[in-house]
């Protein structure tokens, strides 16, 4: 099953006999704003216009638990996540399509969580809402209650120790911007740099100028050149497990299974006992 869906394919599926559940996960990273500029409000954006039938899902409250020792976006409580998915109409026997404002990070986080907790059929709208050419709706959706019960997966998730080990035994990609990987700047976390042994692979290299994923063959070539050869175990981290999910999605498009270190740099860098590498060299 493909992990992404085009806008035209989505329009066709929505008009078909088995339309997917639609989740709107519009979100922006909360960073310092210019004086007087209000923070992004995904719920208000949804109310102002969404793909007909889409239900808003709050990344910070429903796809993550409160920030703390395990990072800025730790795994959500599965009861909270499951309740949010059932409210949105998600059932195990019905396909799900997730979209965001176009960056793809938030949609990928929802995709990864649903896949990791056992949903068999989840795709991300390639290019997000900007790729949608159909009408938008301001009507509150009524999807009906779903029956999805999330169960934590046995694979696909890394903790700090497993991420450190994978950086030595396999391939651990750092999905953040290259300057944060090198430690040139660090606008959010305690210290800049990267997990020793991790390879820089910024998420912006996964997409074209239109924000849509590169073709699978190009992604395979990209990740292969960075060490993701046949048989290599692959993991990804980022700042807090959101953009890293986008990299896991890109790897899935390329046909390369990968695990996600959800705590990511926000967890790793908060522990002074963890080693930090700086500069362009992985070590």
The DSSP letter of residue 241 is S
Residue of 57, 98, 164, 238 with catalytic role: 238
Nearest partner of 96 among 24, 20, 11, judged by Cα: 20
3-state secondary structure of 259: strand
**Do 25 and 99 form a contact (C-beta atoms < 8 A)?**
yes
Q: Using an 8 Å Cβ cutoff, are 172 and 144 in contact?
A: no
Phi/psi of residue 281, each to 5°?
A: -80, 135
Burial class (CB in 10 A: 0-12, 13-18, 19+), 253: buried
Phi-psi region of 61 (alpha: psi -120 to 50; beta: other; left: phi over 0): alpha
Does the annotation mark 238 as catalytic? Answer: yes
Sheet hosting strand 21-24, strand order edge to edge? 4-5, 122-125, 96-99, 21-24, 55-56
Element of type H or E holding 283: none
Q: Rounded to an integer, what distance in angstroms lies between the CA atom of residue 255 and that of residue 146? A: 30
Using H for helix, E for strand and C for coil, what is the string for 111-178?
Answer: HHHHHHCCCCCEEEECCCHHHCCCCCECCCCCCCCCCCCCCCCCCCEECHHHHHHHHHHCEEEECCCH
Please list the active-site residues: 238
């Amino acid at each position: 099953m493909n992990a992404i869906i085009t806008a035209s394919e989505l329009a066709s599926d929505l008009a078909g006999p088995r339309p997917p559940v639609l989740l709107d996960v519009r979100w922006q990273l909360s960073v310092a704003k210019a004086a007087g500029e209000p923070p992004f409000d995904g719920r208000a954006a949804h109310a102002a216009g969404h793909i007909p039938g889409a239900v808003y899902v709050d990344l910070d409250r429903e796809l993550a638990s409160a920030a703390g020792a395990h990072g800025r976006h730790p795994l959500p409580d599965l009861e909270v996540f499951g309740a949010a998915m059932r409210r949105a109409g998600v059932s195990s026997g019905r396909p799900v399509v997730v979209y965001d404002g176009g960056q793809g990070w938030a949609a990928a986080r929802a995709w990864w969580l649903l896949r990791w907790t056992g949903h068999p059929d989840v795709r991300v709208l390639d290019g997000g809402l900007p790729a949608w050419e159909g009408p938008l709706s301001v009507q509150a959706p009524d999807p009906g209650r779903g029956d999805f019960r999330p169960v934590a997966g046995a694979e696909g998730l890394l903790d700090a120790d497993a991420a450190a080990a994978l950086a030595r035994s396999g391939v651990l990609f750092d999905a953040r911007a290259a300057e944060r990987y090198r430690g040139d700047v660090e606008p959010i976390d305690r210290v800049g740099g990267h997990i020793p042994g991790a390879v820089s692979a910024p998420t912006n290299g996964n997409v074209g100028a239109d924000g849509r994923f590169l073709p699978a063959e190009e992604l395979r070539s990209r990740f292969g050149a960075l060490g993701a050869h046949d048989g290599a175990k692959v993991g990804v981290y980022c700042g807090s497990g959101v953009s890293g999910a986008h990299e896991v999605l890109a790897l899935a498009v390329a046909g390369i299974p990968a695990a996600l270190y959800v705590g990511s740099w926000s967890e790793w860098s908060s522990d002074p006992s963890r080693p930090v590498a700086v500069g362009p060299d992985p070590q």
